Amino acid sequence: MLSERELERYDRQVMIFGREGQEKLKNSKVAVVGVGGLGSPVAYYLAAAGIGTLLLIDEQKPELSNLNRQILHWGEDLGRNPKPISAKWKLERFNSDVKIETFVGKLTAENIDEVLDGVDVIVDCLDNFATRFLLDDYAHRKRIPLVHGAVEGTFGQVTTVVPGLTKSLHEIFGVVKEKSGKFPIIGATAGVVGSIQVMEVLKLLTGIGEPLTNRLLIIDLAYNTFDVVELR
């Protein structure tokens, strides 16, 4: 049940989702895996939308070179607070109605069942395919939707995996050779792609619109191109 305060806070959304849709958001638990360039806007906008519980997962602490894009982390967090803890403090003050859970550490085949227990949607905000494929395997085993996002430079991509309905990340990307070292990235790219990922989550939970199932959205913000590749 939504309180009067929540109805006022989410008034503009209720005009789209209706009360029932907003209650679905309130009763949902979403995992944000990676609380960096993508995870920052994803967590912000999911909290703004009124997701009932956010689970933030990351093993790193913020570094100075992160701050051009990782907007949940500030100068005072550098070298001190792990990213999930840094983000939790701010998100709780941004929206006290949202419950913020954290896991500081690396997801592994041994701990993933325990860490992601009870999650309704998983958001991939990672920068490596090894952990992405681990999430993909878990999502299919547990029949949980997975929203994939990736960025580099001015490029980004998003697709939504729904077990039993869509191709898996393994099938879409095959064998991926991981890149080593730092890669270029503009903060605005992560902001745009992260916002699209949030919309995918909201569509999955409320039923509005059409998620990017069996489709891969590829964007290049340098030239404002948005292309959709059919994956069927």
pLDDT digits (tens, 9 = 90+) for 147-166: 999 999 999 999 999 999 99
- Residue-level pLDDT at 183: 87
Mark 190-227 as b/e (b = at least 16 C-beta within 10 Å). bbbbbbbbbbbbbbbbbeeeebbbbbbbebebeeeeee
The Cα 190–Cα 158 span in angstroms is: 11
pLDDT digits (tens, 9 = 90+) for 4-18: 999 999 999 999 999
For the beta sheet containing 99-104, the strands, ordered from the edge strand earlier in sequence to the opposite edge, are 99-104, 53-58, 29-33, 121-124, 146-152, 155-161, 215-220, 225-230
Range 209-229 average pLDDT: 98
Q: Which helix (H) or strand (E) segment is 192 a member of?
A: helix 187-206
Residue 181 pLDDT class (50, 70, 90 cuts): confident
pLDDT digits (tens, 9 = 90+) for 20-46: 999 999 999 999 999 999 999 999 999
| 149, 152, 155, 159: CA torsion to nearest 10 | -10
H helical segments located in 27-102:
39-49, 83-94
- Residue-level pLDDT at 45: 98
Residue (of 92, 176, 74, 52) closest to 126 by Cα position = 176
Structure tokens belonging to residue 113: 């069942």
pLDDT over threshold 90, residue 178: no
The Cα 60–Cα 63 span in angstroms is: 9
Structure tokens belonging to residue 36: 């960096």
Find residue 30's DSSP bridge partners. 54, 121
pLDDT digits (tens, 9 = 90+) for 42-77: 999 999 999 999 999 999 999 999 999 999 999 999
The Cα 14–Cα 21 span in angstroms is: 7
Looking at the domain 4-230, which fold is it?
Rossmann fold (3.40.50)
Q: What is the value of pTM for the model shown?
A: 0.97
- Residue-level pLDDT at 64: 95
The Cα 45–Cα 56 span in angstroms is: 13
- Residue-level pLDDT at 40: 98
Q: What is the mean pLDDT of the chain?
A: 96
pLDDT over threshold 90, residue 79: no
Range 88-116 average pLDDT: 98
Q: Which helix (H) or strand (E) segment is 56 a member of?
A: strand 53-58
- Residue-level pLDDT at 180: 76
Task: Please say whether the beta carbons of 22 and 2 come within 8 A.
Answer: yes
3-state secondary structure of 101: strand
